[in-house]
Chain A
Amino acid sequence: MSKPKGVYDNAATGDTSFRRTWDREEYAQKAAERQSREAKERKERYEAKLAGKKYIPKSEVDANAEETRFDDSRMIEARRGRIRLDENLNKVQIVPLGTTGSRRGKGPGYYCEACDLNFTNSLEYVEHLNSKQHLNATGQTDVVERATLEMVRERLIWLKQRKHEQDKAEEFDLAKRLAERKTIEEQERLEKKERKRIKKEETRQKKVLTATETSEQTSGVDVDAAMMARMMGFGGFTSTKTR
């Protein structure tokens, strides 16, 4: 009798396979990057000291942001559509294993990939999408371009055009849909007719078949049955309905 297998006896995985594995190359690269960054900072610090200035460390985000602070492409735009809050409903997502922060990838809820944060309700999640933290993480600034009169006019004209087109499209659609409906109904009618015809044919064939059978029976193949039938007061075991 074999011993029941425990969780740790699984030969396929090995008992330490649950441990996290590390991509050594990736971390080597990261270390190299950090070293070069630190070297750069040291150099800047040294240069600042030579020039007699105070060195103010900049975070990488700020360093990038400063050049493009008022670039239009980095400004916030209003949402084009609705946020699809029920997009991942009833789904299980695997989120990267992070450090054990209070809100990091833990439990059910909305998950923000850019910031690696979890939110338990939709309002909190949307609030996060609007937050400075999220905007920084996705490389946006927290300003909106102020609209000029020309922009307003343009937008209004565009909206009007869209409205008229929609109205037109709806009318067109109605006629088209009526025509479509008509063809579909016609097709359905033909199919129904065909089905009816086939059914009729089948029943007729069946009747012919049974008729021949009964005629065979009565023609003396089964004499006993005929006798019995006559004794019991009827002509045969088939229907006597006239055909």
Chain B
Amino acid sequence: MSKTDLPDAKAMLDSRGLYDGPTIHSMNPLLLMEKIIRERIIDSMYWKEQAWGLNAATLLDRAVELQFIGGQYANQKPTPFICLILKMLQLNPEREILLEYVQDEDFKYLRVLAAFYIRLAWPAAEIYKTLEPLMADYRKIRLRTQSGYKLTFVDEFIDELLTKERVCDIALPRMPTRAQLEDMDELEPREPLVSDVDSDEEGEEGEMMEE
């Protein structure tokens, strides 16, 4: 991997000739976002002023300043959140860096941002493994939509990422369900985060004994 990044996405979106940069799901990472929203982002002031010249470290400065998540708001303006997602797609940060983002406890919007990127970029089994532990995070987050703000929670958002096809006005890459992955032996059955099922387990064992 090169020692330098580019300040903006111009070179990566240059459509002359074959693309030979880093790929995600064997395609240009920036194309994971639909053309229309991508162009709105690139035309936006936030992208040009705040997201320009960031790298994986300085991206943190912007991520901790986030006040809300969402895709587009008001008159189809892209949110800073979605601008930073495009930035991350352009930067293509290493796996360890993303884990560092996600595992941080202090900044909830940074965690949500990294979770969204992971859902876009990583293989399915790893997405489940990395994001499911975050369902224990019940902190509130603001979601800004075309019609105003809404209240949501980190765990609720993670659940949406894992189950829905479209989150924050972006079509997520298709992903097999958890059950399918379990059938293919790529995932272990999920350990429930709430552990008040001891008595139930005993009951089941009892039933099995009877059988």
Contact = CB atoms under 8 A, between A and B. Distances in A.
Nearest to B5: A144
Contact of B57 (A123, A126, A155): A155
A77 interface: yes
A163 to B, nearest CB: 6
A227 to B, nearest CB: 85
Q: For chain B, which range describes its interface: under 10, 10 to 19, 20 to 34, or 35 or more residues?
A: 20 to 34
B61 interface: yes
Nearest to A77: B53
A149 interface: yes
Interface stretch (B94-102, B176-184, B199-207): B94-102
Interface in A113-139: 122-123, 126-127, 130
Interface in B114-139: none
B21 to A, nearest CB: 13
A151 B61 CA distance: 13
B139 to A, nearest CB: 15
A79 B106 contact: no
Given A77-B53, A82-B49, A126-B48, A146 B58 contact: no
Interface string A126-169: 11001000000000001111110101111110011001000000
A6 B101 CA distance: 73
B64 A163 contact: yes
A112 interface: no
Contact of B52 (A79, A152, A163): A79
B58 A155 contact: yes
B148 to A, nearest CB: 25
A122 B2 CA distance: 33
Given A79-B53, A82-B49, A145 B5 contact: yes
Interface centre among B1, B2, B7 (most CB of A within 10 A): B7
A112 to B, nearest CB: 15
B51 to A, nearest CB: 8
Contacts of B5: 143-146
A160 B56 contact: no
B50 interface: yes
A31 interface: no
A144 B97 contact: no
B55 interface: yes
B60 to A, nearest CB: 5
Contact of A149 (B50, B61, B97): B97
Interface in A10-58: none
A156 B6 contact: no
Interface string B38-67: 000001010011101111111011001000
B102 to A, nearest CB: 12
B144 to A, nearest CB: 20
A145 B45 contact: no
Contact of A152 (B45, B53, B100, B107): B100
Nearest to B65: A159
A226 interface: no
Interface in A73-124: 75-79, 82-83, 122-123
Contacts of B54: 78, 144
Given A144-B5, A144-B55, 18 more contacts: A70-B4, A77-B53, A78-B53, A78-B55, A122-B45, A123-B43, A123-B48, A126-B45, A130-B52, A143-B5, A144-B6, A144-B7, A144-B54, A146-B1, A146-B3, A146-B55, A147-B55, A147-B57
List 3 A-B pairs, minimum CB-CB distance, nearest first.
Answer: A147-B57, A147-B56, A143-B4
